[in-house]
Amino acid sequence: MNHFPGWMLESAHSYLKAAELLDAQNLPHVSMVNAAIGMEILLKSFIFVPDQHQGTSGETYKPAVEALIAAHKHLQSIGKTPADQRRDGHDLLTLFHAVPAEIRKKLSLDSQEDSFERYRDVFTRSRYQYESSSWTFSDPVLMRLLRWTLANVVSYYKQQGSQDPFVLDYITEVQAGAAGD
């Protein structure tokens, strides 16, 4: 791992917090959409590379498009994506498969592949609840998956040597929260 995208993890965390607040306010549909974008950002942290301001707090990223193309073709080859469907950068299942297999294994993400498949199009199909193609239900499962995955990803980046303040503070926050339970 050549870079530690702390800003992306912090962004995913912000969407998780928004999802939790919205869920507590009895806005489960909007909560689920926020959890979906948070998960998207979290998965993209493994397939995006720095493009500007590397090593600074303003580091920005661009996708490693080859990983997305390969994941999309793989899903087409196994029948989980129609052959004529264009690649979708919001598709959680495509993003899941774009994450290197060894990282998915270390993070125990493979055990959650069914959930990534089930919720793969929440962001694109549920943003506008008034559209006829929008999901007709919502649940907190994706939010819980994001919370679990974020903790695993932050821990992974810490083990890889990240000194990003968000990563270091998040581990301390999680440990303090666990001690208080």
Q: Could you read off the pLDDT of 14-48 as tens digits, one per residue?
A: 999 999 999 899 888 899 999 999 999 999 999 99
Question: 52 pairs with which residues across the strands?
Answer: 60
pTM tops 0.85, yes or no: yes
Q: How many domains does the chain have?
A: 1
For 43, the domain range is 6-180
Task: Tell me if 138 sits within 8 A of 49, measured CB to CB.
Answer: no
39 part of a folded domain: yes
Alpha carbon distance 25, 19 (integer Å): 10
Q: Within the chain, what is the greatest distance between any pair of CA atoms? A: 51
Cβ atoms within 10 Å, residue 7: 18
> Cα–Cα distance between 61 and 7 in angstroms, integer?
10
Between CA 163 and CA 173, with CA 167 as vertex, the angle to 5 degrees is 130
Does 1 fall in a domain?
no
82 Cβ neighbours under 8 A, 6+ residues apart:
76
pLDDT in tens, 145-170: 999 999 999 999 999 998 889 999 99
Does residue 1 carry a pLDDT above 80? no
